[in-house]
Amino acid sequence: MNPLLEEFSTPYSTPPFSKIKNEHFKPAFEKAIELAKDEINVIVNNAAEATFENTIVALDFSGELLSRVSSIFFNLNSSETSDEIQAIAKEVSPLLSEFSNDIGLNEDLYQRIKSVYEAKDKLNLTPEETTLLEKNYKSFVRNGANLNDADKETLRTIDKQLAQTSLDFGENVLSATNKYELHLTDINDLSGLPEGVIEAAAIIAKEKNKEGYIFTLDFPSYMPFMTYADNRALRKEMAIASGSKTYKGDGLDNQKNVLKIVQLRYQRSKLLGYENHADFVLEEQMATSPQKVNDFLTNLIEKSKSSGLKENEELTSFANDLDQIETIESYDAGYYSEKLKQKLFDLDDEKLKPYFKLENVIQGAFIVANKLYGLNFEEVFDVDKYHEDVITYKVTENNELLAIFYADFHPRPGKRNGAWMSSFNNQYIKNGVNNRPHIVNVCNFTKPTETKPSLLTFNEVTTLFHEFGHALHGMLANTTYPGLSGTNVYRDFVELPSQILENWCYEKEALELFAFHYETEEVIPLQLIEKIKASANFMEATRMLRQLSFGITDMAWHTTNIEDIESVGDFEKNAMKATQIYPHLEETCFSTSFSHIFQGGYSSGYYSYKWAEVLEADAFEYFSENGIFNKEIGEKFKEFILSKGGSEHPMELYKKFRGQEPDNDALLRRAGLLNVSV
C-alpha cells in the first residue's frame, strides 16, 4: 500500500512521514495526475451548460490529491532532500509541467470557462466568486489558451525545459554550498570570533571527523565569521567562496542555466504576446508594469544613494583609523559596520544573544499572535515529523482548531539555505466543512552547543518573526476556495503580513514579553531596548541599496532580450552599477545563486520586498499611533489582510483595513531618508 494514496488516519490528518518512503512518490504522482485528469474530463464532458459551480468551482477543487502529494514532496525536496529525492524531482517535474499544460491548453475546458466569464455580469457573484472567475479566465488566457496548436506545443516544450533547468539550478546551488568548508586548525585564525561561534565550528568539525574548526557557507556559520573574524584574508576567502560557488566554470556552474532560464522565459512571454517576462508577470501584480517597478526602484535608489555613499565614507574613515584600511571591500563591510555600531551604540549581537534563546523567541511570537489575534499554541507530540529537529504545535482560537504548525529551525545537510514558509495542507471550505491548514516554517538558525542553548542574533529574531508572519497568513486563512486561500495573493502583497510582524521585535512592550536572559531569566534591560531602537536605522541606506540592487538586477534579467547578453557576470555588474557602494569582487557573481528568481517564485518580483515594505511601514504607523497591541486594529488586520487571502484585490483589502491607500513616504520616514536628496 502507498500511504500517499490513502486517507491519512493520523491526528489532524497530518502526513504520516514515518510511513512515506521515497519509492512511494513517483507512483503517487502518476496516480494523482491520472485522477486529476479524470476530474478535468468530468468538467469538460458535462452535457449541462457551463456554470460557475460545475466549471469554475469544480476546477478549483480538482487535483486535491495531486496538491497533497506535491506539497509533501517539494517541501521535503527543500528541507530534507537527498540524491534520491532530487532524482525523483527530475522525473516528476516534467510530468507536472505537462499536466499543467494539459489543463491550461485544453480548448474545451477553456471554452466552458470563457462562457461563464462572458456571462459574469448576470450571475450575481460575490466578490470572492468574481475574483475566482477572473483569476481562472486570465490564467488560461495568460498561459496560451488562445494560441494555435503549433504554438501550444512550443509552449509545452518551453515549460518542460524551464521546470528541468530550474531544478538543475537549485541542485547546483545546494551542492556547491554543501561542498565548501573553511577548515582551520590554527587558534590564531579564530581571533575576534565569539566563543559560541568557535564552539559551533568545533562541533561541525567533529561531525566531519576532523580536528579543529570548520566554517561553512550556511548562514549561521558564514555570517558570524564575516561579522567578527579579524583575519581579513580569511574573510575575503569566505566572501569569494560564497559569491563564486556556482560561478567557477566547473560542473556546478550555473551561468548556462541562468541564460537558458532567461531565454526560455523571454521566448515564452513573446509567444504569449508580451514584450518580455516582466511584462507578463507584472500584469497580475499591484505594480502592473516594468516601467512602474523600475520607477519605484529608481526613486528609492535616488533617495538612498547619497546617504549610502556618506555611510561608506564614515565607515572607511573608521576602518582607516582602526586598521589603516583605505578602501572598504564587500568582505570588510559587515566586520567594520559591527565595530562601528558597537562604538556608536555600545551594542553588538554578543550582548543581545543571551536574551534571545530560541525557545523564548518562539514563545514571544506566539504571545504577540495571542495578544493581536487571540491565537493559542500548544506543542503536540502525536504528529508525525519528517525530521527529529521539527517541533509541532496545535493552533486554536476560542478552543477551535485553527491550524497545525511545524517549526524547523536548524541547518543540516540536505536542507537548503534561507528561511521560508510553506504548507502541507491548505485551507478551504468544502461541503460545509472548513478544512484547516498545516503550515510549516523552515529556517537555518544557530544550533545549540554543548554549553549553550540556541541563542539567536537579532537578525535571526527578526527572521523568525518574518516567517511567522507568513505562517499567520496561512493559519488564519478563511476563504471558500483553495485557489484564493492564505498566501495565494499577488507577489507584491504577500510580504506585508511577514514584514509588518518584524516591527514588534523593536518595541519595548513586545520585547519584555519574551527577551529573558537564558541563565538569569532577567528581562532585557531598558537600555538595551533603547539601543536596539536607536540603532535600527544604522547603515540603513546601505542596506536599502543592497536590497534594491537585487530588485533592479531581477528586472534587468527579465526585461532584456537574451541575444543582447554576452556575459552573465558583466550583465549583472552593469545592472547593479547604480546601487554599487563597494568595489566589485571579480571572482564573484550573485545571479548564479539567486535562487529567489531562478528557482523560486520571485522572477520579476524581487522588488516586492520593498513594495510590501511601503505597505507595512504605513500599516505599522497605524498600530503605533493607537498602540501596538490595539485589539481593534489587530482584528481589522486579521479580518481584511490575514484571513481574506486573494479573495479581493489587495488594494481594496488594504483600504478596508487602513481606511486609505498607503502613504508611500512612510518607509522613507522610518528609514530617516525622507528629506535626503542626491
> For the segment 521-550, what is each residue's pLDDT rounded down to a tens digit?
999 999 999 999 889 899 999 999 999 999
The pLDDT value given to residue 677:
40
List the beta bridge partners of residue 439. 405, 423
Contact 545, 579 (CB under 8 A): yes
| 347 pLDDT above the threshold of 90 | no
Query: CA distances (Å), 649 to each of 123, 280, 475, 493, 641, in order?
Result: 20, 18, 20, 10, 11
Query: How many CA atoms within 13 Å lie on the side-chain side of 300?
Result: 31
Angle between helices 195-207 and 219-228 (to 10 degrees): 140
CATH class of the domain comprising 3-104+106-146: mainly alpha
**Is 566 among the residues known to form the active site?**
no
pLDDT in tens, 566-614: 899 999 999 999 999 999 999 999 999 999 999 988 999 999 999 999 9
Q: What percent of the chain has pLDDT over 90?
A: 92
Contact 85, 21 (CB under 8 A): no
pLDDT in tens, 633-672: 999 999 999 999 999 999 999 999 999 999 888 988 888 8
d(CA 294, CA 290): 6
Report strand pairing: 400-408 vs 438-442: parallel
Give the residue range(s) of CATH 1.10.1370.10 domains in the chain.
255-347+540-606
The pLDDT value given to residue 502:
97
Residue for grid cell 457551463: 50
Label residues 17-53 b or e (16+ Cβ within 10 Å = b): beebeeebbeebbebbbebbbebbeebbeeeeebbbe
Amino acid at 5: L
Question: Residue 419: how many CB atoms within 10 A of its CB?
Answer: 18
The pLDDT value given to residue 117:
97
d(CA 670, CA 533): 11
Gyration radius of the chain's alpha carbons: 25
pLDDT in tens, 295-325: 999 999 999 999 999 999 999 999 999 999 9
What is the edge-to-edge ordering of all strands in the sheet holding 438-442?
375-379, 391-397, 400-408, 438-442, 420-425
The pLDDT value given to residue 665:
87
Name the maximum alpha-carbon separation found in the chain. Answer: 82
Helix or strand or coil: residue 648?
coil
Q: Quick one: which of 145, 85, 92 has its CA closest to 114?
A: 145
For the chain, the average pLDDT equals 95
The pLDDT value given to residue 675:
61
Give me the torsion for CA of 212, 216, 220, 222, rounded to 10°: 100
Give me the torsion for CA of 563, 568, 572, 574, rounded to 10°: -60
Question: Residue 322: how many CB atoms within 10 A of its CB?
Answer: 12
Question: Residue 506: how many CB atoms within 10 A of its CB?
Answer: 18
Q: Annotate 229-267 with DSSP letters as a single string.
A: ---HHHHHHHHHHHHTTT-SSSTT--HHHHHHHHHHHHH
DSSP category for residue 373: H
- Catalytic entry in 171, 338, 467, 572: 467
Q: What percent of the chain has pLDDT over 70?
A: 99
| 678 pLDDT above the threshold of 60 | no
Task: Report the pLDDT averaged over residues 186-193.
Answer: 97
DSSP category for residue 523: B
Q: In this structure, what are the phi and psi dihedrals at residue 590, rounded to the nearest 5 degrees?
A: -75, -35
Task: Report the pLDDT averaged over residues 495-506.
Answer: 96
Amino acid at 65: L
- Number of residues in the chain: 678
The pLDDT value given to residue 676:
44
DSSP category for residue 281: H
DSSP category for residue 591: G
Contact 147, 158 (CB under 8 A): no
Contact 475, 404 (CB under 8 A): no
| 674 pLDDT above the threshold of 80 | no
The pLDDT value given to residue 124:
95
Q: Quick one: which of 215, 156, 210, 207 has its CA closest to 180?
A: 215
Query: CA distances (Å), 372 to each of 22, 291, 397, 565, 634, in order?
Result: 41, 38, 12, 49, 5
Cell of 154: 512550443
d(CA 155, CA 131): 26
Cell of 199: 564552539
Q: In this structure, what are the phi and psi dihedrals at residue 406, rounded to the nearest 5 degrees?
A: -105, 130
Q: Quick one: which of 402, 434, 435, 407 has its CA closest to 422?
A: 407
Angle between helices 290-323 and 540-557 (to 10 degrees): 140
Task: Report the pLDDT averaged over residues 458-477.
Answer: 97
Q: In this structure, what are the phi and psi dihedrals at residue 80, rounded to the nearest 5 degrees?
A: -155, 55
CA 77 to chain centre: 16
- Which CATH architecture is the domain 354-534+609-671 placed in? Orthogonal Bundle (1.10)
Contact 572, 591 (CB under 8 A): yes
DSSP category for residue 194: -
Which residues make Cβ contacts (< 8 Å) with residue 197, sequence separation at least 6? 224, 225, 228
Contact 308, 578 (CB under 8 A): no
Q: Indicate the fold that domain 255-347+540-606 takes in CATH.
A: Neurolysin; domain 3 (1.10.1370)
